[in-house]
Amino acid sequence: MQSDALCFTHDSNMGSMIVTDDQMTIISISDSFKTDIGETNELLLKPLNTLCTSDKHFFTQEALFELQRSGMWQGTIEHYYNNSEKTSLQVTAYAVRNSLNEIEFYTLFLNHTDKRLLHTTQIDSLTKLPNRTYLLDVLEKRLSSAKQERGFTSLLFIEFDDLARFNETFGFDIDDQLIVQLSEKLKSLLGADDVLARVGNEQFAIVSQNFESEESTEIFAKRIISMLYEPFFVDPNMFYISASIGISLSSADERDAYRLLKTAENTMRRVQKDGKNHIAFTQYKAQSSLQKSMHLMEDLPAAIENGEIYFVYQGQYDHERERFSGAELLARWRHPKYGEVSPGLFIPLAEQSGMIGPLTIKAIIEASKMFAKLEEANIKDFSLSVNISPAVLMASDFIETVQFLRHNYDLVGKKLNFEITEETLTQNIDNLVQLLEQIREMGIGIEVDDYGTGYTSLQYLANLPIDILKIDRSFVSGIDRDLKKRGLFQAIVNMSHALDIDVIAEGVETALEDAIIKKFNFITVQGYFYCKPKESNNLLEKLKDNNENTACVWTLLRA
């Protein structure tokens, strides 16, 4: 058989062709090989005859013998696509002899028996990369592999910015060309056994088990971002492209490939909201904290009942009167399994699950008990503030519930305040002014919490019945060093006082911050510097000390 004739028998629909020398060392491989056989296959690295004794690869001794004897062998061999997925391959091999009847070449034609399936459902036709289906397959295998037992699998979900927008200006398939270039660049960054897939139009995903830590995954993600600092060229034009990357890391107990991919995708969406060329993590800790959140949500109702959720108090120090004039109730959860759970975690869960209502009722009842203790300790003229979430404020029976509590828990005439965040006040709440006025009519003060984070106009505030403005910690921390902050703080204070609204500065942590704030008159401060959140009895102790030492502020410093 002539080698010329062989070349003609091959066409691109037939699969891949390999030509080897007489020792079966590969001389040439057709371009379609990588798509058909996989890129990291051992076939590329070793002479074929060294593989002939392997039971999973290539020729058996018998096959080789037959090929050499008759000049042709046809059969099926099993092979591992990209070393991970077992598929079968149809091989037609020819031994090509020279005029001396010595074997000069071997030529092999390879066809996946299930090639059509692989192509239509698992390979992206533009980039020739595995697609989402294939990726999920690989991911599932990786998650149950031994390596996963020891470490974790990282999944990076990358979305490039809208490339199709270039088409109108530069030509209709610019986006395709850019996507191919991007896929090549991404490929060049891959480590051994990493899998790159095109999972959506402008979306790629990388699965890797090569990273030891979150940090090393992040470094890799940063390399992807920095690869985009260089322009891409589709002659004669130059393009800058940005991307957002979401990463999910899976621990040994996470085996759900779909969820890992979805988590990375959702994380990427979050990044996109913040702007492009960013990276964010949903790490396996957060992943398991997803499960934890589910458990916490289930445990919430009982925890509110049984006292696992309780309240601490953070004193508010009035500079003018040189005494503590009030305290804020802050919820805490001592969970039997998870230990101290931050309100930053469980308050949103309570809001989502509707349990924020009962929690707030518990806070108001707790405040009533504290008022009784204060009275007993002869501490007068002292306010207690309860945080009110938007869902609570907007509940149709809110006013009614508060009325009930006032009368049944001896709150009439007590200095109770509700803290409502600036953000809540800017939401479109029906009859907001009327609602706030009803609260006020019950003798409950209204505080704007976290003021300065929502950019409410002064005009807007002037139209609301508000008693106290709590200036957010971001305006307070570092006020001793930052003149701009000081200016803003001053402006807020002036405005509030002009509107006859009292001011509390939140998050005062240092003596220097306190000294600056003290210079603005009529300001109350709340922060770790004067008082960390404390259980009721500890606060009472502190307040008693305070009563006895009103002249000496320094004895109050830090708990």
Give the count of residues interacting with ligand C2E (CB under 6 A). Answer: 20
- Our CB check for ligand C2E shows the closer of 79 and 534 to be 534
Contact with ligand C2E (CB under 6 A) among 37, 64, 186, 363: 363
Minimum CB separation from ligand C2E for residue 505, in Å? 10
Quick check: 478 binds ligand C2E (CB under 6 A)? Answer: no
Site of tokens 């009847």: 101
Quick check: 514 binds ligand C2E (CB under 6 A)? Answer: no
Helix boundaries (H) for 28-71: 33-37, 61-70
How many degrees, rounded to 5, is the angle at CA 155 between CA 245 and CA 295? 100
Minimum CB separation from Ca ion for residue 507, in Å? 8
Minimum CB separation from ligand C2E for residue 361, in Å? 11
Q: Which stretch binds ligand C2E (CB under 6 A): 272-280, 323-331, 374-382, 491-499?
A: 323-331
Residues in 330-359 that interact with ligand C2E by CB under 6 A: 330-331, 342-344, 347
- Name the residue among 34, 2, 254 with its Cα closest to residue 104: 2
Quick check: 528 binds ligand C2E (CB under 6 A)? Answer: yes
Phi, psi of 258 (to 5 degrees): -60, -45
- Our CB check for ligand C2E shows the closer of 38 and 533 to be 533
Residues 6+ apart with CB under 8 A from 18: 26, 28, 29, 30, 33, 43, 48, 107, 108, 110
Helix boundaries (H) for 91-173: 115-122, 132-143, 146-150, 165-170
| DSSP SS3 for 319 | coil
Displacement of CA 254 from its chain's centroid (Å) = 16
By a kind-dependent CB cut-off of 5 to 8 A, residue 528 interacts, out of Ca ion, ligand C2E, none, with ligand C2E
Token pair for 68 = 């050499």
Contact with ligand C2E (CB under 6 A) among 461, 475, 507, 540: 507
Residues in 380-399 that interact with Ca ion by CB under 5 A: 387
Quick check: 450 binds Ca ion (CB under 5 A)? Answer: yes
- Our CB check for ligand C2E shows the closer of 73 and 529 to be 529
- Our CB check for Ca ion shows the closer of 254 and 449 to be 449
Minimum CB separation from ligand C2E for residue 516, in Å? 15
Minimum CB separation from Ca ion for residue 213, in Å? 34
- Alpha-carbon gap, residue 85 to 87, rounded angstroms: 6
Residues in 385-444 that interact with ligand C2E by CB under 6 A: 387, 389
For 110, 115, 117, 387, 467, the CA distances from 12, given in Å and listed in that order, are: 11, 13, 17, 70, 79
Torsion of CA 221, 223, 224, 230, to 10 degrees: 150
- Determine contact, residues 462/435, Cβ cutoff 8 Å: no
- Our CB check for ligand C2E shows the closer of 163 and 329 to be 329
- Our CB check for ligand C2E shows the closer of 38 and 527 to be 527
Contact with Ca ion (CB under 5 A) among 66, 202, 422, 449: 449
Quick check: 422 binds Ca ion (CB under 5 A)? Answer: no
- Our CB check for ligand C2E shows the closer of 314 and 325 to be 314
- Name the residue among 374, 385, 327 with its Cα closest to residue 530: 327
Displacement of CA 513 from its chain's centroid (Å) = 33
Q: Which stretch binds ligand C2E (CB under 6 A): 271-279, 495-503, 514-522, 527-535?
A: 527-535
Long-range contacts of residues 357-360, Cβ cutoff 8 Å, at least 24 apart: 357/391, 357/392, 357/395, 357/401, 358/301, 358/304, 359/304, 359/309, 359/331, 360/386, 360/387, 360/388, 360/389, 360/392
Q: Which stretch binds Ca ion (CB under 5 A): 4-12, 222-230, 315-323, 444-452?
A: 444-452
Contact with Ca ion (CB under 5 A) among 175, 419, 422, 502: 419
Quick check: 509 binds ligand C2E (CB under 6 A)? Answer: yes
Peptide bond connecting 236 to the previous residue in cis, omega within 30 degrees of 0:
yes
Minimum CB separation from Ca ion for residue 546, in Å? 22
For 107, 124, 403, 486, the CA distances from 134, given in Å and listed in that order, are: 30, 10, 60, 57
- Our CB check for Ca ion shows the closer of 38 and 507 to be 507
Contact with ligand C2E (CB under 6 A) among 175, 265, 449, 514: 449
Binding site for ligand C2E (CB under 6 A): 314, 329-331, 342-344, 347, 363, 387, 389, 449-450, 473, 507-509, 527-528, 533
- Residues of this chain that interact with Ca ion (CB under 5 A) are 387, 419, 449-450
